[in-house]
Structure 1
Amino acid sequence: MTGTPPPADDAPDVVCLGESMVTFLPDRPGRLADVPSFARGIGGAESNVACALAAAGHRAKWVGRVGRDGFGDHLVEAIGAYGVDVGAVRRDPRRPTGVYFRTATDRASEAHEVVYYRAGSAASAMSPETVPYASVGDGRILHLSGITAALSEPCLALVRELTAPRAGRPLVSFDVNFRPGLWADAAEGGRLLLELARGADLVFVGADEAEAAWGVGEPEGIRALLPEPAVLVVKRGGEGAVVFERPLAAPPVPDPGTPLPDLRATTAGGAPGTAAAPPDLVVSVPAPRVDVVAPVGAGDAFAAGFLSGTLRGLGSVARVRHGHLMAAAALTVPGDLAVPPRRARADRLAGLDDAAWGRLHLGPGWTGDDQEVRTP
């Protein structure tokens, strides 16, 4: 089984490509029309993943485009402050940095409001021509999301190129992130996201978004739609997550000088139908109980935790539990990003027996080393 070449010693573990925006978070609940002031933050699915991975001790790189404006300065500086490599971020002198405002309510609530000012943003100009492959193909993992594909036709062309079969490409991770409002035609958006996901090696998708995009919400049905990826993670909110994984898709060893295994070996580089895939290993891992402060950023944090476990060579259950723990860190703070628990603490919690894990109860501040975690 042939893997990708070992990266250089200073190469990133994970490269995350996508739009990051300045986020304005309300200082109180209520309609946007009634909120008097907002706190400035950063938001963007892929940059969130990069920041969480860097905070967890991995070498993360974010690739994107921002305007040559103050908001672009803020994004590059704030994301870089997490330890993320921002050297490949490009500044656009003609297009602005995207921004958005949201209410404090749950995204699923009828009262939830999000207003984006991103049309014609610098990030929407990403394309195969403006983003050289060398800037995104130098890591062990390349992480993408369906949000980028929705921004513009050039962005869609870029994601298509990066999920297409390519000799020696990194392991491609794809978070479906179906946002109907970003697509002119939501049904067509769902079809395109299914096409892109089929070209990836590792796919994250929520059962609710799969239902909305494809009309299928049960994990087994989603796997039937997506047989090509070697690893499929179906997120089920507070119920946990289900992982479908081919036996050949063994997690990589921790040594960064060792190439990741070629997870596309059973489908000849991602092309379906070229070889019969062996039966899946299926693992279902419940989520711990969490006292939610703000239900934003959890999906990105889960992806970061799972990718962290993948880089470290952990087994399926441990990778999912690290995803749940990263998500719990995000859910127990007001913004999109949270400081994750120290690795030793996360490893201890992820290593609990099933009964103790089932009793785990996480609230605000739980990631601190001096905080007790409830397992009644």
Structure 2
Amino acid sequence: MVTFLPSRPGRLADVPSFGRGIGGAESNVACALAAAGHRTRWVGRVGADGFGDHLVDAVAAYGVDTSAVQRDPHRPTGIYFRTATDRDADGFEVVYYRAGSAASAMSPRNMPLDELAAGRVLHLSGITAALSADCLALMRTLTARRPGRPLVSFDVNHRANLWREAEGPRVLLDLARGADLVFVGEDEAETAWGVVGAEAIREALPEPSVLVVKQGAAGAVVFERCAASFPTPPLPELRALPPDPRASIADGAEDPVAGRGKKPRSGPDTVAFVPAPRVDVVAPVGAGDAFAAGFLSATLRGLPVRDRIRHGHLMAAAALTVPGDLGTPPSRAHADRLAALDADAWGKLRLGPGWTDVTQPKGAADQEVRTP
């Protein structure tokens, strides 16, 4: 979507003007990963209009491959407006104009499934599933477990105001069960599923090999199955998936949140908690997508779990210390130095505006991530 950011705090009714930017959970992750030196492709649909031109050009300017983006001559590019306050704060407002948008028409029938399956990682968001029945069918197809698929990363991103029906939380739970790597906020899990605490979230989501529970400014907990492995060589290319919109990892399963039909994890977890550094926040937006990008970047590099979490925190701090959704990530060498700090030095770390002001070396990575 094209985002319109307020020129000053206050109610939408009182804001006199807005600045134009770009937004979208998956494209944010793709842009952050590309800026960090990874090869990424964003796959999506935008209108054949000026806003679509702006989106494609802006995403491509980060180094993201946009060759698979479709232009719809009959549907507009989605836009939204929001206030400057934190999403969870009193007075936060967001207004979406995306009903009937080009993105809402994505489906298993019109999206290039071979393109989505060709990377080492396929990153998805629960926001896409809320856009339309066709989008949900696409998400069910992409999260269905099939041999040879890429590693599927899924950010729950529960947005209650996007779901027209009360089944939204259950749909997100089903989709998360089909993923290999899941990101979810502790607060959103409580809101959506009524589960409280990281351990309870893991009980509700036993299937993913890696579960990342974000705890805001406190830090993040990662549950990783001991047998989990993220291979460094490219995975075999997977051709177009059968368009099976009814496929779901949880078809016929009882609700695990209610304590029925839980699927046991195949082996014990290793559990790691890493506190977040202190951050002088400029704008509390984009941090979740940035954290996912940092964690994925470190995963692709085969780093240990502590460093994966720290790289997630550092990328989130890059977003939190700028006004918009996307911050300039630190250079890889800079981030690696910070991630390698001992526990005491990490605990004293404080990051403010301008802390990433170093040049990211180009060609620093050869991994590939694709996002719809």
TM-score, normalisation: structure 1? 0.87
Task: Return closer, same or farther for 1:120/1:258 CA change in 2, 3 Å cut-off.
Answer: closer
Distance 1:340 1:369 in 2: 9
Q: Residue 152 of structure 1 aligns to which amino acid in structure 2?
A: S
Residue 214 of structure 1: which of 193, 212, 233 is its match? 193
Question: Is 2:48 the counterpart of 1:65?
Answer: no
Distance 1:118 1:171 in 2: 29
Deviation, structure 1 residue 165: 1.4
Check the 8 A contact 1:301/1:326 in 2, yes or no. yes
Secondary structure of 2:183's counterpart equals strand
Residue 302 of structure 2: which of 313, 336, 348 is its match? 313
Paired-residue identity, %: 73
Distance 1:203 1:110 in 2: 28
Distance 1:129 1:140 in 2: 23
Deviation, structure 1 residue 257: 4.4
Distance 2:171 2:288 in 1: 21
Deviation, structure 1 residue 251: 4.0
Output one character per residue of 1:149-178: Cα deviation in whole Å (capped at 9) or x when no partner: 000000000000000011210000000000
Residue 286 of structure 2: which of 291, 297, 308 is its match? 297
Secondary structure of 1:151's counterpart equals coil
Deviation, structure 1 residue 22: 0.5
Deviation, structure 1 residue 198: 0.3
Deviation, structure 1 residue 287: 0.3
Partner of 1:169: 149
Question: Is 2:146 the counterpart of 1:146?
Answer: no
Question: Is 2:168 the counterpart of 1:179?
Answer: no
Secondary structure of 1:284's counterpart equals strand
Distance 1:218 1:276 in 2: 18
Distance 2:341 2:230 in 1: 20
Residue 348 of structure 1: which of 337, 340, 354 is its match? 337
Partner of 1:248: 227
Deviation, structure 1 residue 259: 6.8
Higher alpha-carbon deviation: 274-283 or 173-182: 274-283
Question: Is 2:236 the counterpart of 1:236?
Answer: no
Partner of 2:181: 202
Residue 193 of structure 1: which of 172, 176, 187 is its match? 172
Task: Return closer, same or farther for 1:356/1:150 CA change in 2, 3 Å cut-off.
Answer: same
Q: Residue 117 of structure 1 aligns to which amino acid in structure 2?
A: Y
Deviation, structure 1 residue 298: 0.2
Secondary structure of 1:303's counterpart equals helix
Partner of 2:243: none
Distance 2:57 2:265 in 1: 47
Residue 282 of structure 1: which of 251, 271, 288 is its match? 271
Secondary structure of 1:212's counterpart equals helix
Deviation, structure 1 residue 274: 8.8
Partner of 1:338: 327
Check the 8 A contact 1:66/1:122 in 2, yes or no. yes
Moved over 2 A (4+): 250-253, 256-260, 269-276
Q: Residue 139 of structure 2 aligns to which amino acid in structure 1?
A: V
Matches within 5 A, 1:261-276: none
Deviation, structure 1 residue 204: 0.2
Output one character per residue of 1:68-104: Cα deviation in whole Å (capped at 9) or x when no partner: 0000000000000000000000000110000011111
Distance 1:148 1:168 in 2: 23
Deviation, structure 1 residue 275: 8.1
Distance 1:258 1:125 in 2: 29
Question: Is 2:97 the counterpart of 1:117?
Answer: yes
Task: Return closer, same or farther for 1:213/1:274 CA change in 2, 3 Å cut-off.
Answer: closer
Task: Return closer, same or farther for 1:26/1:40 CA change in 2, 3 Å cut-off.
Answer: same
Q: Which runs of 5+ in 2 are unaligned?
A: 238-247, 254-261, 360-372
Question: Is 2:20 the counterpart of 1:35?
Answer: no
Check the 8 A contact 1:252/1:312 in 2, yes or no. no
Q: Residue 219 of structure 1 aligns to which amino acid in structure 2?
A: A
Q: Which runs of 5+ in 1 are unaligned?
A: 1-20, 261-268, 371-376
- Residue-pair matches, total: 339
Question: Is 2:36 the counterpart of 1:56?
Answer: yes
Check the 8 A contact 1:53/1:308 in 2, yes or no. yes
Distance 1:94 1:104 in 2: 32
Residue 313 of structure 2: which of 299, 324, 337 is its match? 324
Distance 2:266 2:145 in 1: 17
Deviation, structure 1 residue 250: 3.3
Distance 2:275 2:49 in 1: 44
Secondary structure of 2:130's counterpart equals helix
Distance 2:358 2:58 in 1: 24
Distance 1:316 1:110 in 2: 35
TM-score, normalisation: structure 2? 0.88
Output one character per residue of 1:324-367: Cα deviation in whole Å (capped at 9) or x when no partner: 00000000000000110000000000010011101110011111
Check the 8 A contact 2:120/2:234 in 1, yes or no. no
Partner of 1:223: 202
Secondary structure of 1:77's counterpart equals helix
Distance 1:235 1:275 in 2: 23
Partner of 1:76: 56
Q: Residue 210 of structure 1 aligns to which amino acid in structure 2?
A: A
What is the aligned-residue RMSD (CA, Å)? 1.8
